[in-house]
Amino acid sequence: MGQLAPLRIAIIGAGIIGAAIADALAARGASVSMFDMRRPGAGASQASAGVLCPYTEGSPGSPLLALGVRSLAMWDGWVERLRESVDVPFSCARSGTLEVALSADEVAHLQRARAWLSAEGITHQWMEGAQVREFEPTVSTSALAGLVISGHGYVQVPALVTALMASARRRGATCETPAEIIHVDQRRDVVYVRVGDRVDEFDHVVIAAGSWSRRVRVADVPVFPVRPIRGQLLHLKWPGAAMPQRSVWGTRCYTVPWPDGSLLVGATVEDVGFDERSTVAGVRDLLDAVGELLPGAWQASLAEVRVGLRPATVDHLPLLGPLASHPRITMATGHYRNGVLLAPYTADVVTRQILDNDRDPMLALTRPERVLA
């Protein structure tokens, strides 16, 4: 008996989501063809701060929290397997987050978070002002309280995308660039993808085109509303050796230290369409905020401003899963502020859905058609 031919799968978009899915599918022996209109990782992913913090991002009892917690639990094993696959360095650590209160209102907000974490049995630590400074000496002397969640982490996203692409390629995946895909059509068991002047045939297609997903038209399917929300992120070079040791959060900005002396400062949240420019106002707001939170930042140099378009949906949950009317087309987009956190979960459920026809129960939360009211 001859061997079955590998499933031919196209992935539209090579950001963190497309790259993670490509690597997972190729690891299982699928024949993966990626397409990107720019180059891998050049969309929202290159601007990402890479914080893995479901307990800060998700509200109590929310679907986002459930997805984030599930994905965070997969992170360590996922990174270990990637490092076994390729020798591309990227920094990733569970160094925790420290949320700082600088006013009475912010203390009250942190106390509510503390109560909820206690009720849920999530490991955390409460600190009064002086303790905060002892724990993290770079924090402002105005700190009134702090909340540490040690299970949170961060990853260097651009290098992670490079590693995922290298791993996917090592396993046989290809990536065509620049190749903009705007037309996809499933007829019976074949999905046709128009690439410039030619039409390629696949057994399955994954749409992972981030903020641009609505431009990928699927024949006989309404447009799924995904819209861009701009985020500006600063890369500072910290002066001297005494850098923050963990991700520090205030109400107006958050920071992520990298081992090479960079401090990321994020991020603006702006509804300005497909405008990927940085602005003086955005940079000023972030500089003011980080100077208030970590006064040593005033001595830092400004190395770079990165800008990305977060792919947002109406309910801020991703569109994840097969189309009901076209089951050979899977959506994996709309991850908004948490695409990095949710990458291992996304890659896993999409791979199991396509290769094993296994529908993870959590896919009910992210069914693409829910946004087509």
CA distance 338 to 308: 13
* C-beta of residue 150 within 8 angstroms of C-beta of residue 123: yes
Judged by beta carbon, residue 129 or residue 167, the one nearer ligand FAD is: 167
Q: Is 58 in the site for ligand FAD (CB under 6 A)?
A: no
The SS3 call for residue 221 is: coil
Q: Is 337 in the site for ligand FAD (CB under 6 A)?
A: yes
Judged by beta carbon, residue 145 or residue 166, the one nearer ligand FAD is: 166
Among 58, 210, 250, 257, binds ligand FAD (CB under 6 A): 210
Q: Is 181 in the site for ligand FAD (CB under 6 A)?
A: yes
Amino acid at 234: L
CA distance 128 to 148: 11
Among 33, 45, 167, 351, binds ligand FAD (CB under 6 A): 45
Stretch that binds ligand FAD, among 90-98, 136-144, 145-153, 209-217 (CB under 6 A): 209-217
Using CB under 6 A, which residues numbered 66 to 125 contact ligand FAD?
none
DSSP annotation string for 273-338 = SS-----HHHHHHHHHHHHHH-GGGGGSEEEEEEEEEEEE-TTS--EEEE-SS-TTEEEEE--GGG
CB of 304 to ligand FAD, least distance (A): 12
- Integer CA distances (angstroms), 299 to 143, 235, 238, 240, in order: 20, 13, 8, 9
354: left (phi over 0), alpha (psi -120 to 50) or beta: alpha
Stretch that binds ligand FAD, among 163-171, 178-186, 189-197, 361-369 (CB under 6 A): 178-186
Among 335, 347, 348, 350, binds ligand FAD (CB under 6 A): 335
Among 169, 227, 310, 326, binds ligand FAD (CB under 6 A): 310
CB of 178 to ligand FAD, least distance (A): 8
Q: Is 37 in the site for ligand FAD (CB under 6 A)?
A: yes
- Integer CA distances (angstroms), 337 to 12, 175, 318, in order: 20, 25, 10
Strand partners, 266: 254
Q: For binding to ligand FAD (CB under 6 A), which residues are involved?
A: 12-18, 35-38, 42-45, 47-51, 180-182, 208-212, 215-216, 231, 233, 266-267, 308, 310-311, 333, 335-341
